[in-house]
């Protein structure tokens, strides 16, 4: 098979010892019924809440402990182009089989689910998960089509203040919500001057990676009523969490 970067991988048998370097994909693996095979996860893998009781912590997403991973003798490692470093991926790939995901939209996610569920012999669970996500998405499309387009700025960090730009999964999710990202002309996650904040209908403060709270609203040159703290997992976790995401987006849009 090939991963989502087109890198070839060959498996003689179904892998039995998995390490996941991506929090949202750890949740996906568990939801596909592969929890018993997970031997290593990152410290940021918080769903399900007790996953670290059965799997070893192998560092963070950007600073994985290579020796710890190798000691677990995994026969499959799930990584991500954006969340993990190419240096770590290259070093691990010298000795181990690493599948690198690259998810920019729902089509990419469905491709990943199909690959994983086929490789691990859980194709029916994968098909059902894809159907559930598609069903929720189609329902949301009917809901959102008559909602007005709102100009937004989506903040992910404070000091320095950083927003979401284009070429990101979060920007894709903003577009699905009929939000116009006023920083979409910038790439990735640019720093911005909040004193020169662009005109918006609403500022969205994400709950992650920086844990924005109500008190941070006063630091922005915008009226409180035009600032909303949003659940960052629903905007940035591109795994099975999307089954629940569209219900959350409905509530958010109704609130705005």
**DSSP type of residue 149:** P
Check residue 155 and give its pLDDT.
Answer: 98
Check residue 222 and give its pLDDT.
Answer: 85
Q: Which residue has the higher pLDDT, 220 or 222?
A: 220
Check residue 225 and give its pLDDT.
Answer: 82
Check residue 89 and give its pLDDT.
Answer: 96
Two tokens, residue 103? 């998810």
Residue from 3, 35, 42 nearest 18 by CA: 35
Please indicate whether the domains covering 18-137 and 147-255 agree at the CATH topology level.
yes
- Pairing mode, if any, of strands 18-20 and 38-41? parallel
Domain residue spans of the chain: 18-137, 147-255
So what's the architecture of 18-137 in CATH? 3-Layer(aba) Sandwich (3.40)
Query: Which strands sit side by side in the sheet containing 38-41, from one edge to the other?
Result: 56-57, 38-41, 18-20, 76-80, 98-101
For range 133-150, the mean pLDDT: 96
Two tokens, residue 133? 């996500």
For range 6-33, the mean pLDDT: 97
**Residue 40 reports pLDDT greater than 80:** yes
Element (H, E) at 246: helix 242-255
**Residue 109 reports pLDDT greater than 90:** yes
Check residue 107 and give its pLDDT.
Answer: 96
Element (H, E) at 156: strand 150-157
**CATH of range 147-255; options 1.10.600.10, 2.60.120.260, 3.40.50.1980, 3.75.10.10:** 3.40.50.1980
For range 85-106, the mean pLDDT: 96
């Amino acid at each position: 098979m090939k991963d989502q970067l087109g890198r070839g991988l060959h498996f003689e048998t179904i892998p039995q010892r998995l390490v996941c370097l991506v929090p949202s994909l750890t949740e996906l693996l568990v939801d596909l019924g592969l929890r018993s095979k997970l031997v290593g996860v990152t410290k940021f893998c918080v769903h399900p809440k007790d996953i670290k009781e059965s799997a070893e912590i192998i560092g963070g997403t950007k600073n994985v402990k290579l020796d710890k991973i190798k000691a677990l003798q995994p026969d499959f490692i799930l990584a991500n182009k954006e969340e993990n470093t190419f240096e770590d991926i290259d070093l691990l790939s010298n000795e181990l089989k690493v599948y690198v995901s690259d998810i920019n939209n729902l089509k990419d996610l469905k491709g990943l689910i199909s690959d994983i569920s086929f490789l691990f012999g859980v194709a029916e669970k994968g098909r059902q998960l894809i159907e559930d996500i598609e069903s929720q998405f189609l329902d949301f499309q009917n809901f959102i089509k008559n909602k007005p387009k709102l100009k937004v700025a989506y903040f992910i960090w404070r000091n320095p203040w950083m927003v979401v730009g284009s070429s990101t999964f979060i920007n894709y999710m903003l577009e699905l919500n009929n939000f116009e990202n006023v920083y979409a002309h910038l790439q990735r996650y640019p720093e911005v001057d909040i004193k020169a904040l662009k005109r918006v209908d609403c500022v969205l403060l994400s709950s992650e990676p920086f844990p924005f709270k109500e008190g941070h609203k006063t630091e922005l040159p915008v009226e409180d009523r035009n600032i909303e703290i949003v659940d960052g997992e629903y905007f940035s976790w591109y795994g099975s969490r999307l089954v629940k995401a569209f219900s959350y987006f409905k509530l958010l849009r109704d609130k705005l």
